[in-house]
């Protein structure tokens, strides 16, 4: 009888332990299933962003649209190695703000850099209402121009900087335009950091 009692007690303990394990396991599983998951962490936009426009893209008065969303101050470096068979390059690069993007002939730029040739450029800065804020002509650059956009200013720099006071606007598109150059080699490399 002692042995039977012991087996019965042991069986009860095992059954009780299994029931407790199942109950506790179910409670834990229910907690895990019902526990709210944390909100996903936004993935930062990888920087720098780069875009290359080959001379063949610009042949025959073509236009290249680089759609990009930048919501913080940024710097874009324009490195122009394009060559032409004759005359000037007339290569235009337009920074287009939110609401100003479009297709051929319909965008409203915030800033424009216009490579006259490989060593000289013009620039134009516009307000949100479309009025010109500042411009510069035949400025030296050596083929590289930086556009630095802060919360309150845009600085265009070839060999030396020129700064315009203008409030920040999001960048959504960079448009590259052949304004009449007979391109026969090279490319435009754009590097954007924020």
pLDDT in tens, 140-184: 999 999 999 999 999 999 999 999 999 999 999 999 999 988 999
Matching residue, tokens 């920087």: 47
Does residue 77 carry a pLDDT above 90?
Answer: yes
Contact 11, 17 (CB under 8 A): no
DSSP collapsed to 3 states, the chain: CHHHHHHHHHHHHHHHHHHHHHHHHHHHHHHHHHCCCCCCCCCCCCCCEEEEEEHHHHCCCCEEEEEEEECCCEEEEEEECCEECCCCCCEEEEEEECCCCCCCCCCCCCEEEEECCCCEEEEEEECCCCCEEEEEEEEECCCEEEEEECCCEEEEECCCEEEEECCCCCEEEEEEEECCCCEEECEEEEEEEC
Higher-scoring residue by pLDDT: 60, 117:
117
Name the band, by pLDDT with cuts 50, 70 and 90, for residue 135.
Answer: very high
10-38 pLDDT, tens per residue? 555 544 554 444 554 555 454 444 554 55
**How many whole angstroms separate alpha carbon 116 and alpha carbon 80?**
11
Does residue 101 carry a pLDDT above 90?
Answer: no
Contact 174, 76 (CB under 8 A): yes
Average pLDDT over residues 121-130: 92
Please state whether the predicted TM-score (pTM) of the whole model is above 0.95.
no
Does residue 99 carry a pLDDT above 80?
Answer: no
Name the band, by pLDDT with cuts 50, 70 and 90, for residue 2.
Answer: very low
Q: Select the CATH number that applies to the domain covering 49-193 from these four: 3.90.180.10, 1.10.10.10, 2.60.120.260, 2.60.120.200.
A: 2.60.120.200
Locate the domains of the chain by residue range.
Answer: 1-36, 49-193
Does residue 42 carry a pLDDT above 90?
Answer: no
**Residues ≥6 apart with Cβ < 8 Å to 67:** 101, 172, 173
pLDDT at 60: 85
Does residue 121 carry a pLDDT above 70?
Answer: yes
């Amino acid at each position: 009888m002692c042995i039977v009692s012991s087996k019965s007690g042991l069986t009860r303990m095992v059954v009780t332990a299994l029931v407790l394990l199942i109950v506790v396991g179910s409670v834990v599983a229910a907690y895990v299933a019902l526990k709210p998951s944390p909100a996903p962490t936004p993935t930062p936009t990888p920087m720098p962003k780069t875009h290359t426009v080959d001379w063949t893209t610009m042949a025959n008065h073509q236009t290249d649209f680089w759609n990009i969303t930048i919501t913080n101050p940024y710097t874009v470096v324009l490195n122009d190695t394009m060559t032409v068979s004759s005359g000037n390059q007339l290569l235009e690069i337009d920074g287009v703000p939110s609401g100003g993007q479009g297709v051929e002939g319909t965008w409203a730029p915030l800033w424009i850099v216009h490579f006259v040739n490989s060593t000289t450029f013009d620039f134009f800065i516009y307000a949100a209402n479309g009025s010109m804020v500042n411009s510069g002509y035949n400025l030296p650059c050596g083929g590289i121009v930086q556009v630095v956009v802060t919360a309150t200013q845009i600085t265009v720099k070839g060999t030396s900087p020129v700064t315009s006071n203008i409030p920040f606007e999001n960048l959504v598109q960079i448009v590259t335009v052949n304004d009449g150059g007979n391109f026969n080699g090279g490319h435009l490399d754009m590097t954007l950091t924020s």
